């Protein structure tokens, strides 16, 4: 009996595999060592690839970091979209969106993303690479919130913008706390309290959507 030969991987397949391996390594190093530790040489050592192979896909560290951020943003968009669609009314859609957002807090990608965004202040190359996709993601999130509130007959844009800013700040703060002390029970209790306050401020206490 002859064994069928496995089809050879295409160049596109090999490139995709290399990119995925580099992105995963960069994410893990960011979580453990922070942005300063996520050097090209550290990524090389973690992947076992040559620096040339890595730089063929990502010529600079900033491009690797942008890829880490973009991959997680794409994942979040899919999760958030599904969460909103499962809502039977505006309040439930917003609650689902809060739940989906706070489920990200304990993920390593969230810690990696926080490291990237903090580093943007002092790294012009990183800012240039990451800023466009970040703006697109933020606009999409704002539009989701806007549409949900409009469907509920709520039109105070200034209040919505302020609450969204506060929610972003709480999400980032909880990410930092989770890194420092990953106590899941305390985190979940804190999230429940914050979510209840947010929903009451937006929709009124116990009000249906």
What range defines the domain where residue 87 resides?
61-203
138 falls within a domain: yes
State how many domains the chain has. 1
Q: What is the pLDDT of residue 199?
A: 93
53 falls within a domain: no
208 falls within a domain: no
Q: Do 113 and 138 form a contact (C-beta atoms < 8 A)?
A: no
178 falls within a domain: yes
pLDDT class of 4 with cuts at 50, 70, 90? low
5 falls within a domain: no
Segment 164-198, tens digit of pLDDT: 899 999 999 999 998 888 888 999 999 999 999 99
How would you class 164 by CB atoms within 10 Å of its CB: exposed for 0-12, middle for 13-18, buried for 19 or more? Answer: middle
Residue 160: pLDDT over 50: yes
Rg (CA), the chain: 20
163 falls within a domain: yes
Instruction: Report if pTM > 0.95.
Output: no
Q: What is the pLDDT of residue 188?
A: 92
Please say whether the dihedral angle defined by the alpha carbons of residues 180, 112, 80 and 203, taken in this order, is positive or negative. positive
CATH of the domain at 150: 1.10.357.10
Q: What is the mean pLDDT of residues 112-120?
A: 95
68 falls within a domain: yes
3-state SS, residue 4: coil
Segment 66-109, tens digit of pLDDT: 999 999 999 999 999 999 999 999 999 999 999 999 999 989 99
């Amino acid at each position: 009996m002859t064994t069928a030969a496995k089809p050879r991987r295409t160049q596109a397949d090999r490139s995709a595999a290399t990119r995925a391996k580099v992105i995963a390594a960069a994410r893990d190093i960011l979580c453990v060592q922070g942005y300063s530790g996520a050097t090209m040489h550290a990524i090389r050592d973690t992947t076992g690839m040559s620096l040339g192979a890595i730089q063929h896909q990502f010529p600079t560290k900033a491009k690797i970091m942008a890829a880490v951020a973009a991959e997680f943003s794409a994942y979040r968009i899919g999760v958030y979209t599904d969460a909103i669609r499962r809502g039977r009314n505006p309040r439930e859609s917003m609650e689902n969106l809060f739940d989906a957002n706070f489920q990200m807090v304990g993920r390593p990608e969230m810690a990696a993303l926080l490291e990237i965004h903090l580093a943007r202040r002092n790294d012009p190359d990183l800012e240039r690479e990451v800023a466009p996709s970040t703006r697109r993601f933020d606009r999409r999130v704002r539009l989701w919130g806007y549409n949900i509130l409009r469907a509920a007959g709520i039109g105070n844009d200034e209040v919505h913008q302020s609450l969204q800013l506060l929610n972003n700040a709480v999400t980032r703060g909880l990410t930092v706390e989770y890194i420092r002390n990953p106590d899941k029970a305390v985190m979940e209790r804190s999230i429940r309290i914050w979510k209840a306050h947010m929903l009451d401020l937006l929709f009124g206490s116990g009000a249906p959507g």
